[in-house]
Amino acid sequence: MAEFVIDGGARLHGEVVSSGNKNAALPLLAACLLTDEPVTLHNVPSIRDVNTLMKLLESLGASVEWPSPNTVRVHARNIRSCALDASLCKEIRASILLAGPMLAREGDITLPPPGGDVIGRRRLDTHFLALKALGTEVYTNGNFTLEAKQLIGQDIMLDEASVTGTENAIMAAVRAKGTTILRNAASEPHVQDLCRCLVLMGAHIEGIGSNTLTIEGRDRLGGAEFTVGADNIEVTSFIVLSALNGDGVWIRKASPEHLSMTRLMLGRLGIRFEAHGPDVFVPGTQDLCVEPEFDGAIPTIADAPWPGFPADAMSPTIVAASQCQGTVLIHEKMFESRLYFVDRLIGLGARIVLCDPHRCIVQGPSRLHGDKLQSPDIRAGVALVMAALCAQGQSIILNAQQIDRAYERFDEKLRGLGARIERRA
């Protein structure tokens, strides 16, 4: 089991280059199954979740290679339905994304239950209801068996704006017969990346970036070459780190056009950053102070579907709030177990009251001290690294491979900025 050994208090400076968006790379890799021609994806992060999904693609008969760093080429010329490795599916949530493409190409797939972070119940109903509307039969007997003789376009209202549910529905609809109207669709940057790549492959999709997509099905799609966009959650993490511990940090290739709500929410904590073309600059020596509501009430930072503040950014935000002067309410609406990591922050010295599974009150600034901590999930793990970098003394973050699932060379990037962090096997 890997662990990070961190000596807190180092000031960060210099520049770091953001990685490709993990949440875009995974559906894009799955979408490669929709064509028998090669698809080349650039700026793919070299992380555990990507490597796991590539193994699943290979098990289905696709040829997968890394012709150069951060470039993946997939050629799904001859694919087959087969029993997927349950242990691989258990590692990642994204295994469910194989459903739409395999139904479109082969007409059936059997999926073991997907895994991923344990942050509360993560329902699959939105996926299956959308695929059933397109003509899929769904059977459950421990695994999920999906069969579709012919996918037919429909007018579909998703019961929630699920990101992966939207992506599965899109990938099935682009090869369905006729027109699909997808309402209450998720519209995050990674969903937009998937749509734009599919258009390059020959799909017809209108309304990209909105919550209503109109998709004209195609008999076949072709190959394409596409560059994955920046990971807005990784960028947000580096913004927070740089504001708390930085003496001026540049984040290159950060896609600041996707950070408008991040600017508003972090601004309530006094955190500021500047957009310079494709890059972001975080000035040093910031006035970290919670901005109260106009009537003097305690402000709230809450997550919401895009273009709202991303749920994955909430854990780093809690650490940021612990270092700011004032009190703020954090309301994580989506996952009922995500906030349970705050007991580890409290153990470090943070003043946090967990009100219920979805809300906590943070009062800062708190003087943190080093400790030995377990990383329960990806985002909480990164938040614990942030807290350790702010703390006095040494911290050990166990289960660091959780962070490797989504953050490419995270410890190396931090060392490049001056952080005292080492990886130990």
* Vertex 182: Cα angle to 181 and 183 (nearest 5): 115
Rounded mean pLDDT for each run of 10 residues along the chain, 425 residues in total: 93 97 96 97 95 94 95 95 83 89 92 62 80 93 88 96 95 97 97 98 98 96 97 97 96 97 97 97 94 93 95 95 97 84 94 94 96 88 96 94 91 97 93
Q: Which residue in 110, 34, 48, 113 sits closest to 76, CA to CA?
A: 34
CATH for 3-19+230-424, among 3.40.50.720, 3.65.10.10, 3.30.230.70, 3.30.300.280?
Answer: 3.65.10.10
Tokens of 401: 């491979």
Same topology between domain 3-19+230-424 and domain 22-227: yes
Give domain limits for the chain. Answer: 3-19+230-424, 22-227
* Alpha-carbon gap, residue 238 to 17, rounded angstroms: 10
CATH architecture, range 22-227: Alpha-beta prism (3.65)
Residues 148, 106 contacting (CB under 8 angstroms): no
pLDDT at position 122 is 56
Active site residue ranges: 117
pLDDT at position 401 is 87
pLDDT at position 172 is 97
